[in-house]
Amino acid sequence: MIEMKNLRKDFPVRVKAGRFRREKRVLTAVDGVSLSIAAGEMVGYIGPNGAGKSTTLKMLTGVLAPSAGEVSVCGLSPVAQRTRLALRIGVVFGQRSQLWWDLPLRESFRLLKHVYRVPAAEHETRLRRCRELLDLDAFMETPVRQLSLGQRMRGELTAALLHGPEVLFLDEPTIGLDVVSKQAVRSFLGELGRGGDVTLVLTTHDLADIERLCKRLVVIDHGRVVHDGTIEDLHSRYGSRRRLVADLDSPLPPGFALPGAVLSTVEADGHRVTFTLESIAAGAAVAALVNAASVRDLSVIEPDIEDVVARLYRCSITSTAQDGSSAS
């Protein structure tokens, strides 16, 4: 459905070099990205600010012309066949509205029906489904400029789906939303993805979006793909482990060890211990601990994806710094 081969985007920039002189430099936003996304996949595209996420999305949607490499979406070349592609994809830019600012939301949808030449019956069916799932009825008659951000984003999602796109691109769809709106957007996208007839590519800074929605996670940094796989792959590759935290009546007997786990912290005079589970199942670890000590309270903590990603970003920054020094 989506193919990228050595995709690259350079931006020439002029930087001040002295009082009047300007120097030309080239900023590479996307540096040889190759990815292949199959129909029906849900892919999360993450990376720190300036990593090249949005630039990639803009090349996939025909907004930006690539500097080098190949890209095809739905078998079309995005820039050369922009208008044909536009009929088959939906795009939500979290910070760019697709709606008509001064008109009621309903009017925006009606105009989009004409823009995308959608048969009336299809338009009606899709709009009804979005109205139900996204709870739009309360503000269909409100001018878009008066909508709250959460309401507007629900409107944007509907706007992107009314022509029944094969691929939906979402650039930070949950940015700035409150918890409830975020959840509404996520569960809607989850519902959409489960249908399996829409391919979904989303960029985000909120990793909860990815955990809920995307089996596949692509991490990009400095314009390069640094990880492509499932969230579990990411955890095993970067050694994130589940942790077992236990509150004890009395400190552990001296010399106590859990095979396959490491005692990572001891707090509150030995009354709270944390084990990092390396090669032991959580159930077995709990059983062994309960046998050895009197446990008052106990919890198993899932590895935190935020931590992993933060570590990943730091790793790639230092490795690029090393690349830089070895090159010079």
Partner 1 sequence: MAEFRAYAALLGGRLRSATAYRASFAVEIITNAGGTAIDVSTVFVLFTATRLLGGFTLGEALMMTGLTAAGFALADLTVGNIDQLKTYVRLGTLDAVLVRPLAVLPQLVIADLPLRKLLRSGVGLAVLIVAVASNDIVWTPARVALLVTAPLSGAVFFGSIFVLSASLAFWWVESGEVGSAFTYGGRDFTSYPISVYGGWFRAVFAYGLGFAFVSYHPALTLLGRADPLGLPAWSGYVSPLVALAAAGLAGVVWRIGVRRYRSTGS
Binding site for partner 1 (CB under 8 A): 11, 49-50, 54-55, 58, 61-65, 79, 82-84, 86-87, 89, 91, 93-98, 100-103, 107, 110-111, 114-117, 143, 171-172
CB of residue 158 to partner 1, shortest distance in Å: 15
C-alpha 52/C-alpha 7 separation (Å) is 11
* CB closer to partner 1 out of 89 and 177: 89
Question: Three-state DSSP class for 70?
Answer: strand
Which residues, 6 or more positions from 11, have their beta carbon under 8 angstroms from its beta carbon? 26, 27, 28, 29
Q: How many CA atoms lie within 13 A of 229 on its CB side?
A: 10
CB of residue 82 to partner 1, shortest distance in Å: 7
CB of residue 65 to partner 1, shortest distance in Å: 5
* CB closer to partner 1 out of 120 and 327: 120
* CB closer to partner 1 out of 58 and 216: 58
Q: Are strands 42-46 and 199-203 parallel, antiparallel or unpaired?
A: parallel
* CB closer to partner 1 out of 140 and 292: 140
C-alpha 260/C-alpha 277 separation (Å) is 7
CB of residue 115 to partner 1, shortest distance in Å: 5
Tokens of 283: 């159930």
Tokens of 19: 């009082």
Helices assigned H by DSSP within the chain: 53-60, 82-86, 105-115, 120-134, 149-161, 179-195, 207-213, 231-237, 282-292, 305-327
C-alpha 115/C-alpha 125 separation (Å) is 17
* CB closer to partner 1 out of 168 and 252: 168
CB of residue 96 to partner 1, shortest distance in Å: 5
CB of residue 157 to partner 1, shortest distance in Å: 14
* CB closer to partner 1 out of 79 and 133: 79
Q: How far is CA 121 from CA 27, 117, 126, 163, in A?
A: 48, 12, 9, 11
* CB closer to partner 1 out of 55 and 240: 55
* CB closer to partner 1 out of 14 and 296: 14
CB of residue 56 to partner 1, shortest distance in Å: 12
Of 136, 132, 134, the closest CA to residue 147 belongs to 136
CB of residue 252 to partner 1, shortest distance in Å: 52
Query: How far is Cα of residue 234 from the mean position of the Cα atoms in its chain?
Result: 14
